[in-house]
Amino acid sequence: MEVLKIATAGSVDDGKSTLIGRLLYDTKSLTDDKLEAIEHSSKKKGYDYLDFSLATDGLVAEREQGITIDVAHIYFSTKTRSYIIADTPGHVEYTRNMVTGASTSQVAIILIDARHGVIEQTYRHFFINNLLRIKSVIVCINKMDLVGFSEERYDEIKADFEKLVDKSDYEDQNITYIPVSALKGDNVVDKSDAMPWFGGQTLLEYLEKLDTVNIYNRGKMRFPVQYVIRPKTEEFHDFRGYAGKVYGGDINVGDEVVVLPSETRTKVKEIYFNDKKYQSAARRSSISITLENNVNVSRGDMIVKANELPRIEKAFTAKVCWMCSKPLVAGSKYVLQHGINKVLAKVSEIHHKIETDFSGVDTQVSSLQINDIASVSFQLNKPIFFDAFKEHRTNGAFILIDPQTNNTSGVGFIE
């Protein structure tokens, strides 16, 4: 079954957890014991409605403060497909979590409180979805019950959001608007009786009909070698299988390929998945392959089609989102992990900070604080094999690891 991953973004109090709870409730994904716990908890707090946010806010600290502070994963399925919701916090200091949740999602839901309309937070959420190249964005205008289910208000907010879309440089992105009331259940799973003026699909209807082929950004085939399988048994004495995941496009037996960095040309001899051989494997398959010639391949090398070479360079500029309390400064050194390949990187220059409000204002800065996004140039100790992030959502991204703490300190999107 196909799995669709959805990132949610919203501000504090715009009802994100309630929307997710409503999706679970109306798709009958909440089991009796979970429902019972929600009823019990809602009653204890003196609510006269079910507090669905309790279905998603996991950690003790969150229950105490009533806010979501980390990425939580929520699962539900319909007869059509399985869904994973990455519930990412909308609070201003948590850009890092939003970027994290969005990095593995194909769809994003942006929530807007109908009373407040498009606010600065909305700019930021949309900006991050754009930065991460999320192909389908659903704008849920929530709390419609509190604005009298007004079509006029919906049109107003939609028009405001479209002004943001005009500033975006991501042309393939699909944007949909849905007026909902998560609390009352309007247009989440079931069509709203209170908004007969809305002719579009409900949130779930829209998700169910999303074409799973077109929700992914495509790119050139990239096969980074994760692990070399050498059984050294009698039956497989000389077997050398190159294990890895296929990115971007298909790989086929007989394909003319180049192994990087040695630039050796050879052909794909066999494609294995477990003990079976295949003629062809699509993107996202974890396979192992053998090659026609006996070439030297090790972890971190990349196999690409002979006529589709990536950029092979030791220096580049990237947009970096900083995720660590220790600031990023020019001259500092990090371990740069590009896919599975690790190299050493030096920050050669911080060009400017990028504002997430589409204002286009570039502020000159000398350091990058947590949750800042900036344009940064790097120098590496050896070349990596990459594409621009806009052309390849996986082969254009990297993380920076602090060599002292080993923490993942930032993420970059190569220009």
Partner 1 sequence: MTEKLLINALENEAIYIFREVAAQFEKPVLLFSGGKDSITLVRLAQKAFYPAKIPFPLMHIDTGHNFPETIEFRDKLVAELGLELIVRNVQDSIDQGKVKEESGRYSSRNVLQTTTLLDAIEEFKFDACIGGARRDEEKARAKERIFSVRDDFGQWDEKNQRPELFDMLNGQIQLGQNVRVFPISNWTELDVWTYIENEDLEIPSIYFAHKRDIFMRDGLIWSASEHVFKDDEEEVEERMVRFRTVGDMSCTAAVSSYASTIREVVAEIRDSSISERGARIDDKRSEAAMEKRKQQGYF
Q: Which of residues 174-213 bind partner 1 (CB under 8 A)?
A: none
d(CA 175, CA 364): 32
Binding segment (CB under 8 A) for partner 1, from list 43-51, 68-76, 142-150, 305-313: 68-76
Minimum CB separation from partner 1 for residue 332, in Å?
A: 17
Comparison of 209 and 276: residue with beta carbon closer to partner 1: 276
Q: Which residue has the tokens 């050669």?
A: 348
Q: Does 131 bind partner 1 (CB under 8 A)?
A: no
Q: How many residues sit close enough to partner 1 to count as binding (CB under 8 A)?
A: 77
Minimum CB separation from partner 1 for residue 272, in Å?
A: 7
Q: How many residues does the chain have?
A: 415
Cβ atoms of 71 and 101 closer than 8 Å: yes
Q: Does 99 bind partner 1 (CB under 8 A)?
A: yes
Comparison of 170 and 239: residue with beta carbon closer to partner 1: 239
220: enclosing H helix or E strand: none
Residues between 2 and 41 with contacts to partner 1, criterion CB under 8 A: 2-3, 31-34, 37
Q: Which long-range contacts (C-beta less than 8 Å, at least 24 apart) are formed by 394-397?
A: 394/219, 394/222, 394/247, 394/248, 394/339, 395/219, 395/222, 395/247, 395/248, 395/310, 395/338, 395/339, 397/103, 397/338
Cβ atoms of 241 and 229 closer than 8 Å: yes
Phi-psi region of 131 (alpha: psi -120 to 50; beta: other; left: phi over 0): alpha
Binding segment (CB under 8 A) for partner 1, from list 11-19, 185-193, 232-240, 349-357: 232-240
List the structure tokens of 350: 């911080």
- Does the CA dihedral 87-90-96-99 come out positive or negative? positive
Q: Binding partner 1 by CB under 8 A: which of 43, 59, 190, 269? A: 59
Q: Binding partner 1 by CB under 8 A: which of 285, 290, 317, 369? A: 285
Which of 55, 25, 26 minimizes the C-alpha distance to 40?
A: 55
d(CA 81, CA 101): 20
Q: Which residue has the tokens 């999602």?
A: 105
Minimum CB separation from partner 1 for residue 68, in Å?
A: 10
Q: Binding partner 1 by CB under 8 A: which of 231, 269, 363, 382? A: 231
Comparison of 179 and 248: residue with beta carbon closer to partner 1: 248
160-187 core/surface letters (b: 16 or more CB in 10 A; e: else): ebeebeeeeebeebebbbbbbbbbbbbb
Minimum CB separation from partner 1 for residue 287, in Å?
A: 7
Minimum CB separation from partner 1 for residue 393, in Å?
A: 8
Helix 95-103, helix 120-131: angle, nearest 10: 40
Q: Which residue has the tokens 């929520």?
A: 74
Binding mask 301-330 for partner 1 (x = CB under 8 A): ----------------------x-------
Q: Does 287 bind partner 1 (CB under 8 A)?
A: yes
Residues between 337 and 356 with contacts to partner 1, criterion CB under 8 A: 337, 339-340
Binding segment (CB under 8 A) for partner 1, from list 61-69, 178-186, 306-314, 363-371: 61-69
d(CA 406, CA 324): 11
Comparison of 225 and 304: residue with beta carbon closer to partner 1: 225
Minimum CB separation from partner 1 for residue 323, in Å?
A: 6
Comparison of 274 and 296: residue with beta carbon closer to partner 1: 274
Residue 104: C-alpha distances to residues 159, 260, 375 (Å): 29, 26, 22
Q: How many CA atoms lie within 13 A of 101 on its CB side?
A: 30
Q: Binding partner 1 by CB under 8 A: which of 42, 78, 280, 290? A: 280
Q: Binding partner 1 by CB under 8 A: which of 172, 275, 307, 364? A: 275
Q: Does 218 bind partner 1 (CB under 8 A)?
A: no
Comparison of 198 and 223: residue with beta carbon closer to partner 1: 223
* Phi and psi angles of residue 320, each rounded to the nearest 5 degrees, phi first: -115, 135
Q: Does 134 bind partner 1 (CB under 8 A)?
A: no
Q: Does 61 bind partner 1 (CB under 8 A)?
A: yes
Residues between 388 and 407 with contacts to partner 1, criterion CB under 8 A: 393-394, 397-399, 401, 406-407
Minimum CB separation from partner 1 for residue 408, in Å?
A: 5
